[in-house]
Amino acid sequence: MTYDLVFDADDTLWENNIYFERAFQEFVEFLDHSSLSEVEVRAVLDEIELVNNKIHGYGTANFIRNLEQCYRHLVEREIRQEDIDRIMSLAGHILEQPVELIEGVEETLAGLWTRHRLTLFTKGHPDEQRMKIDRSGLSGRFHHTAIVKEKDAAAYRKLAADFQMEPQRFCFITYDLP
């Protein structure tokens, strides 16, 4: 029996979040807040991201915007252009990182390809996501690829309709970070 296996990309097929976490760690060190802990700084950044992601979506460019807003909100010293440039460079390096496949992904996809329809379904900035897909070397392992602004009920319904997927034969594969 053939199934439609729909795979998330970032942190399911390849590492992604680790690069954002490294940039955040460097941001906290650079901010060097006198009274806020890393957890408290993260809470402020999370609030900013919650608002901005609805407007601008996901991806490195939005993360840079979020870090800059967080910095401007929390900084305890005069804001200089070189400080803003430093913030931008912290996250800008994310795009330069290699696409590191999660162990066993290539072999798993190769085995599933012959028995099922595989679809890559990811959210984020389309150009950035396409770049990661290309750099991963996995684009040929999928029958379909879809990049959306947000993974919500409407996006799943559209995906199923666009590729004639039957709900009873549809499985979404993702890894949720702790």
Band of pLDDT at residue 11, cut at 50, 70 and 90: very high
Same domain, 104 and 38: no
What burial class does residue 38 get, using C-beta atoms within 10 Å of its C-beta: 0-12 exposed, 13-18 middle, 19+ buried? Answer: middle
What's the whole-model pTM score?
0.86
Q: Which of residues 42, 66, 96 is at a domain's end?
A: 96
Band of pLDDT at residue 69, cut at 50, 70 and 90: very high
Per-residue model confidence as pLDDT tens digits over 142-157: 999 999 999 999 999 9
Same domain, 23 and 92: yes
| Beta-sheet strand order (sheet of 4-7) | 144-148, 117-123, 4-7, 170-173
Q: Which of residues 78, 96, 114 is at a domain's end?
A: 96
Instruction: Indicate which CATH number applies to the domain containing 74.
Output: 1.10.150.240
Domain count of the chain?
2
C-alpha 36/C-alpha 49 separation (Å) is 18
Q: Which of residues 60, 80, 96 is at a domain's end?
A: 96
Per-residue model confidence as pLDDT tens digits over 97-135: 889 999 999 999 999 999 999 999 999 999 999 999 999
Same domain, 46 and 106: no
Where in the sequence is the domain holding 51, given as residue range(s)? 17-96
| pLDDT confidence of residue 91 | 81
pLDDT at 92 over 90: no
